[in-house]
């Protein structure tokens, strides 16, 4: 069997490059929590409205006593519920997404707020938005003929201003609808 | 050897392939036009999504499967120098697959199966669509059987001899396809057909996505392997050189087959129904499968360099200029490699999940796979067709110059089409929308790129028409001279006299695949039966 020495060298270089990439990805996943949404949590899409967490009144942005911000959202043809939310910048936010019908996806452009929303499962991910601004929240998976019209808005506000505005909402636990 | 049956088999399959291709090209150009919103009266989600579904099925399933079958039959018969085994089975497979295509076309074209070529349950299409797709796959299994039987017939008749590289790779692809298609076959047979016929009321979308992911990655290598075969066995000969290393080529094909299978979860990175650990395992495998592509690039470029130097090229890069750029096979491989470099870069971005989150399901993704599939792969299908058509029809190619124009325009059109497509993805435009209705400043920045894509698509459509025209004129034009060339396979630089059995057979590798698949897909599939998932009812679209 014949293997050229140049070929052997090239194979080593290629393996080293692949090894480097894989190592970086694993380090990011393990230590920087830059990873995939993969919580494998099941939920019955047909009775979301009866569930505690995703009942209509509980959707939207929440802040608990410790100041943790979470967002519960429902996707259904052809909208996100609620359609508009406001969150603080530079804050770690936990998003929990569910679908009432078919497959959807959601992406906030230029950010890594992105996940598939598969009926039967809760898609959970954590991220923070470094830059304040008005971002669209787009459905990025084909969900039917009205797919183009499926979008919402996410208003990322300076941290201090957001907290101030929450103070004036009269103790509504920051629940926005 | 009288190979009229083999020539007829190859021609029939490839004719179906390229007919599907040209129809789908027109749809592609319509889609960029519709999507841009330039012509208001074109705007129709109903037509758009029917068109996207049909375009995807024709390109990804019909063009590829028929081309690969036709090319495989002819490669097997010419490289082994024996007739196709069981021609009734071969023609039967062709008939079943073609019938499947016709069956699927009815609901697709009438808008009753706008579920895209990826199916996406719980959205549900007409049952004829799923039935047709199944028959296409079943027909292609006949081809797999014929290839594997011929492989072993030859080995039995030539004990201890290395199987010719072209046939070794073709058999690798047949085995790959049997493994690959099992995932989607299970999804269609156990989930989609029962649902669409009303035998079951609900479907588990997480399981369906997992089964489809089984197929979705290795299918790309099923499409790509004929291009790699041309890289190894046609290009060096056409350029006037040798295969740099026959053994390395075999190793590359083996790694492609083994590692392209258990890595499909990189399509599910952003999905909630599979855990992070599984995704990481599949992610690592995804990087390993880049290795044979890097090795192939090296070997092909080395073969080209030898050719360039044999033709008098000097200096570090002087050999590039002295390559026979007017040979369609050589030009195609150069353009194909260029697109592979950029497409491969995009692929590594997708495989790295921190970056993938920014581009997942955006316009970046179709930009990427058009570059790799319609670019790298299909341009080699063109080159193979230009090489084989004269041999199959026994008439010379209608015009070599026009063929060169066709290859260049395809490359230029592809560049103009996919560069803005990638940028649109970085700017957050979702794939699979038929119009932009979002009321946001960001979406204004998308406009110029959409317009550029129309131009790129138009150039490619022209190029595609020229391609079909050239084949047509070659086949049906008046023959001025007898054309009697045979397929010529490149010789390795260092002759291969004996090979270890693991580089000359697949028995060991099938066991490796079975074990690897049992871990990487077996457990993730079984989980759906243990964790108590909730099914979805079927939805229209
Ligand atoms: Cu949607």
Tracing tokens 């059109």 back to the chain, one arrives at: B413
Q: How many CB pairs under 8 A join A and B?
A: 220
Q: What is the mean pLDDT of residues B393-409?
A: 95
B537 touching A (Cβ < 8 Å): yes
Closest-CA residue of chain B to A100: B536
In a 3-state reduction of DSSP, which class is residue B150?
Answer: helix
Chain A residues lying within 8 Å of B277, measured CB to CB:
38
Distance A168 CA to ligand 1 centre (A): 34
Distance A140 CA to ligand 1 centre (A): 7
pLDDT at B133 over 80: yes
Rounded-to-integer distance, Cα B233 and Cα B106, Å: 39
Local confidence band at B441 (pLDDT 50, 70, 90 cut-offs): confident
* Catalytic residue numbers of B, as ranges: 217, 221, 368-370, 431-432
Chain A residues lying within 8 Å of B283, measured CB to CB:
22, 25
Chain B residues lying within 8 Å of A103, measured CB to CB:
120, 122-123, 205
Distance A30 CA to ligand 1 centre (A): 31
Phi, psi of B20 (to 5 degrees): -60, -40
Cβ partners under 8 Å of residue B293, min gap 6:
B256, B340, B344
B502 touching A (Cβ < 8 Å): no
Which pLDDT belongs to residue A171?
A: 40
Closest-CA residue of chain A to B527: A40
Residue A124 to residue B433, Cβ atoms within 8 A:
no
Residue A18 to residue B357, Cβ atoms within 8 A:
no
Q: What is the mean pLDDT of residues B493-518?
A: 91
Q: B481-497 burial, b if ≥16 CB within 10 A, otherwise e?
A: eeeeeebebbbbbbebe
Residue B283 to residue A25, Cβ atoms within 8 A:
yes
A130 with A124: CB under 8 angstroms? Answer: no
Tokens read off for B436: 């932009």
At B147-183, the pLDDT tens digits run: 999 999 999 999 989 999 999 999 999 999 999 999 9
Region of B394 (left: φ > 0; alpha: ψ -120 to 50; beta: rest) is left
Distance B439 CA to ligand 1 centre (A): 17
Tell me how close the Cα of B431 comes to any Cα of chain A, in angstroms.
7
Rounded-to-integer distance, Cα B56 and Cα B60, Å: 6
In a 3-state reduction of DSSP, which class is residue B245?
Answer: coil
Nearest Cα neighbor of A121 from B201, B122, B274 is B274
Tell me how close the Cα of B191 comes to any Cα of chain A, in angstroms.
16
Which pLDDT belongs to residue A173?
A: 44
Q: What is the mean pLDDT of residues B332-357?
A: 91
B contact test, residue of A43, A79, A148 with most B CBs within 10 A: A148
Residue A41 to residue B540, Cβ atoms within 8 A:
no
Which pLDDT belongs to residue B1?
A: 64
Rounded-to-integer distance, Cα B84 and Cα B68, Å: 15
Residue A145 to residue B46, Cβ atoms within 8 A:
yes
Question: Who among A120, A124, A140 is closest to B536 (CB)?
Answer: A120
Q: What is the mean pLDDT of residues B365-378?
A: 94
Residue B122 to residue A124, Cβ atoms within 8 A:
no
User: What ipTM score was computed for the predicted complex, to two decimals?
Assistant: 0.90
B46 touching A (Cβ < 8 Å): yes
Question: Who among B287, B361, B503 is closest to A21 (CB)?
Answer: B287
Question: Who among A110, A123, A148 is closest to B435 (CB)?
Answer: A148
Residue A36 to residue B276, Cβ atoms within 8 A:
yes
Which pLDDT belongs to residue B498?
A: 81
Local confidence band at B129 (pLDDT 50, 70, 90 cut-offs): very high
What does pTM read for this prediction?
0.94
Which pLDDT belongs to residue A169?
A: 46
DSSP A149: G
Question: Who among A18, A25, A39 is closest to B290 (CB)?
Answer: A18
DSSP annotation string for B301-331 = HHHHHHHHHHTT--HHHHHHHTS-TTSHHHH
**Which residues line ion ligand 1, judged by CB < 5 Å?**
A 104, 139, 143, 150
Residue B122 to residue A44, Cβ atoms within 8 A:
no
Q: Which of residues 57-96 of B touch A (CB under 8 A)?
A: none
Identify the burial level of B404 via C-beta atoms within 10 angstroms of its C-beta, where 0-12 means exposed, 13-18 middle and 19 or more buried: middle
pLDDT at B373 over 50: yes
Tell me how close the Cα of B55 comes to any Cα of chain A, in angstroms.
15
Q: Which of residues 230-259 of B touch A (CB under 8 A)?
A: 244-245, 247-248
Distance A101 CA to ligand 1 centre (A): 9
Residue A121 to residue B427, Cβ atoms within 8 A:
no
Question: Who among B294, B360, B428 is closest to A14 (CB)?
Answer: B294
A50 or B422, higher pLDDT: B422
Distance A77 CA to ligand 1 centre (A): 6
Torsion angle of C-alpha atoms B170, B176, B178, B180, degrees rounded to 10: -140
Question: Who among A18, A101, A112 is closest to B357 (CB)?
Answer: A112
B339 with B372: CB under 8 angstroms? Answer: yes
Tell me how close the Cα of A66 comes to any Cα of chain B, in angstroms.
27
Rounded-to-integer distance, Cα B91 and Cα B104, Å: 20
Q: Collect the ranges in chain A with pLDDT lower than 70.
A: 1, 166-177
At B192-247, the pLDDT tens digits run: 999 999 899 999 999 999 999 999 999 999 999 999 999 999 999 999 888 888 88
At B52-111, the pLDDT tens digits run: 999 999 999 999 999 999 999 999 999 999 999 999 999 999 999 999 999 999 999 998
Q: Which of residues 129-168 of B touch A (CB under 8 A)?
A: none
Residue B284 to residue A22, Cβ atoms within 8 A:
yes
Cβ partners under 8 Å of residue B121, min gap 6:
B191, B192, B195, B203, B205, B208, B536, B538
Tell me how close the Cα of B536 comes to any Cα of chain A, in angstroms.
7
Nearest Cα neighbor of A150 from A161, A137, A169, A162 is A137
B298 touching A (Cβ < 8 Å): yes
Tokens read off for B77: 């018969």
In a 3-state reduction of DSSP, which class is residue A34?
Answer: coil
Tracing tokens 């599907």 back to the chain, one arrives at: B20
CA dihedral for A154, A160, A161, A166, sign (positive or negative): positive
Residue B122 to residue A102, Cβ atoms within 8 A:
yes
Per-chain mean pLDDT for chain B: 93
Chain A residues lying within 8 Å of B348, measured CB to CB:
21
Residue A145 to residue B287, Cβ atoms within 8 A:
no
Chain A residues lying within 8 Å of B290, measured CB to CB:
14, 18
Residue A120 to residue B204, Cβ atoms within 8 A:
yes
């Amino acid at each position: 069997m014949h293997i050229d020495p140049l070929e052997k060298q090239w194979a080593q270089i290629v393996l080293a490059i692949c090894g480097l990439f894989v190592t970086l990805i694993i380090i990011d996943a393990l230590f920087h929590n830059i990873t995939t949404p993969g919580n494998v949590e099941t939920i019955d899409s047909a009775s979301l409205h009866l569930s505690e967490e995703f009942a209509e009144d509980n959707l939207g942005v929440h802040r608990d006593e410790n100041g943790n911000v979470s967002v519960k959202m429902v996707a259904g043809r052809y909208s996100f519920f609620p359609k508009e939310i406001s969150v603080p910048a530079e804050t770690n936010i936990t998003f929990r997404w569910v679908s009432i019908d078919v497959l959807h996806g959601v992406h906030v452009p230029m950010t890594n707020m992105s996940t598939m929303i598969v009926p039967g499962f809760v898609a959970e991910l954590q991220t923070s938005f470094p830059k304040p601004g008005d971002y669209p929240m787009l459905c990025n998976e084909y969900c039917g003929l009205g797919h183009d019209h499926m979008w919402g808005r996410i208003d990322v506000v300076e941290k201090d201003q957001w907290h101030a505005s929450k103070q004036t909402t009269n103790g509504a636990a920051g629940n926005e609808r | 050897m009288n190979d009229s049956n083999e020539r007829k088999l190859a021609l029939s399959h490839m004719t179906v392939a390229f007919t599907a291709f040209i129809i789908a090209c027109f749809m592609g150009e319509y889609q960029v036009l519709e999507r841009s919103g330039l012509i208001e009266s074109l705007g129709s989600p109903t037509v758009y999504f029917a068109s996207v579904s049909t375009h995807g099925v024709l390109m990804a399933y019909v063009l590829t499967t028929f081309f690969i079958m036709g090319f495989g039959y002819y490669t097997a018969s010419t490289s082994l120098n024996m007739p196709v085994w069981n021609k009734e089975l071969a023609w039967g497979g062709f008939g079943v697959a073609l019938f499947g295509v016709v069956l699927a076309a009815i609901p697709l074209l009438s808008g009753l199966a706008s579920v895209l070529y990826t199916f996406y349950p719980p959205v549900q299409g007409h049952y004829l669509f799923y039935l047709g797709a199944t028959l296409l796959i079943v027909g292609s299994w006949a081809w797999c059987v014929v290839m594997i039987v011929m492989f072993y017939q030859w080995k039995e008749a030539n004990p201890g001899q290395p199987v010719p590289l072209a046939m070794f790779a073709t058999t690798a692809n047949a085995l790959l396809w049997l493994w690959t298609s099992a995932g989607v076959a299970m999804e269609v047979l156990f989930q989609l057909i029962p649902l669409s016929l009303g035998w079951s009321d609900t479907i588990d979308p997480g399981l369906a996505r997992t089964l489809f992911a089984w197929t979705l990655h290795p299918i790309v290598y099923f499409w790509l392997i004929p291009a790699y075969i041309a890289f190894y066995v046609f290009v060096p000969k056409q350029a006037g050189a040798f295969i740099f290393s026959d053994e390395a080529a075999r190793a590359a094909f083996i790694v492609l087959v083994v590692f392209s299978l258990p890595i499909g979860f990189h399509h599910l990175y952003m999905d909630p129904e599979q855990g992070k650990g599984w995704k990481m395992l599949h992610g690592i495998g995804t990087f390993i499968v880049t290795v044979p592509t890097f090795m192939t690039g090296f070997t092909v470029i080395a073969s080209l360099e030898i050719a360039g130097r044999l033709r008098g090229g000097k200096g570090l890069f002087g050999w590039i200029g002295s390559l026979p750029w007017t040979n369609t096979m050589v030009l195609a491989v150069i353009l194909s490699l260029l697109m592979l470099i950029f497409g491969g870069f995009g692929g590594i971005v997708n495989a790295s999940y921190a970056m993938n989150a920014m581009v997942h399901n955006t316009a970046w993704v179709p930009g990427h796979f058009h570059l790799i599939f319609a670019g790298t792969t299909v341009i080699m299908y063109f080159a193979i067709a230009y090489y084989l058509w004269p041999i199959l029809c026994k008439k010379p190619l209608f015009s070599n110059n026009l063929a060169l124009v066709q290859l260049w325009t395809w490359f230029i059109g592809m560049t103009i089409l996919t560069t803005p497509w990638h940028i649109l993805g970085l700017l957050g435009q979702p794939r699979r929308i038929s119009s932009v209705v979002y009321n946001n400043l960001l979406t204004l920045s998308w406009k110029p790129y959409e317009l550029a894509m129309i131009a790129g698509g138009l150039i490619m459509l022209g190029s595609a028409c020229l391609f079909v025209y050239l084949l047509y004129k070659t086949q049906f034009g008046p023959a001025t001279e007898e054309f009697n060339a045979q397929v010529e396979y490149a010789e390795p630089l260092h002759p291969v006299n004996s090979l270890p059995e693991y580089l000359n057979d697949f028995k060991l590798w099938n066991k490796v695949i079975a074990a690897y698949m049992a871990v990487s897909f077996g457990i993730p599939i079984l989980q759906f039966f243990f964790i108590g998932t909730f099914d979805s009812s079927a939805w229209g679209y």
